[in-house]
Amino acid sequence: MAPTRRARERAAQWVAAAAQTWATINVWLGDRLLPTRWELRGASALDRNGQYLVCANHQSWNDIYALLKLFDRRAPFFKFFLKRELFWVPVLGLAWWGLDYPFMQRYSAAKLARHPELRGRDLETTRRACERYRNMPVTILNFLEGTRFTRAKHDRQDSPYRYLLRPKAGGLALALAALGEKINHLLDVTIVYPEGAKGFWDFLAGRVRRVIVEVRSLTIPHEFYAGSYENDPVFRQRFQDWVAQLWADKDRRIGELLAEAGAA
């Protein structure tokens, strides 16, 4: 007999509580064992029982720890979308599956040309996942760039931003449509490493000395809950323009934070 929806939601809450305890222990250990100086800004108004949609810039695996630190006991344990290949990572893959993280399959342009029926599968995964989260406290994380920033990727994209790759708006649009107006604010998180982004082993070795994490709450325009990103080109362009402005503001803010830290 299949479990009821309420039973599934309760089980998901128990798993999320266990994950949050694990995250809190890791943050506690990091505070005592590592020399990193953290500057967390704007997190005081968050609610542990709220529903949040989060977008953040992405530079290294250390970003995940930075978000654990930012949201620790202030907001529900976050979920994010993973490449399907990561399911096979030892231990972590099963943990992410147990936490109900959505696994997404990426297809090359060549494969999509041969199999056009695969187009949009990632967006459908986004929709189904967000519908499962509608009735529970949740923080849904979206790295709009889709990958970690490197100078080579930046140049290859001919990105119009100084510190960011081009954002991908489709997943965010579908998340808004699936979750509905229960989420009426977007948490815009900006992560800055004044000494430059470094690898996770550098972080564990104490070579990441300072991190600035800033969050601001943005009101989402009402029109973006009702339109069809996939089928309405006018709506899609308006949404992409809104995301592009969000990203331009973030790019400028990163420059300001780096200048404030004496690293611009």
Domain ranges of the chain: 5-260
Give the separation between CA 63 and CA 164, rounded to whole angstroms. 14
Tens digits of residue pLDDT in 182-208: 776 789 999 999 999 999 999 999 999
Is residue 2 predicted with pLDDT exceeding 60?
A: no
Torsion of CA 27, 183, 191, 38, to 10 degrees: -40
Could you report how far apart the first and last alpha carbons of the chain are, in Å? 60
Q: Please name the residue ranges forming H helices in the chain.
A: 5-33, 62-71, 92-98, 109-114, 121-132, 151-157, 170-179, 200-204, 233-260
Q: What is the pLDDT of residues 143-187, one digit of tens each?
A: 899 889 999 999 999 999 999 999 998 878 877 877 777 776 789
pTM across the whole model: 0.84
Tell me the pLDDT tens digit for each residue of 48-74. 888 888 999 999 989 999 999 999 988
**87 has pLDDT over 70:** no
pLDDT for residue 16 is more than 50 = yes
Domain 5-260 carries which CATH code? Answer: 3.40.1130
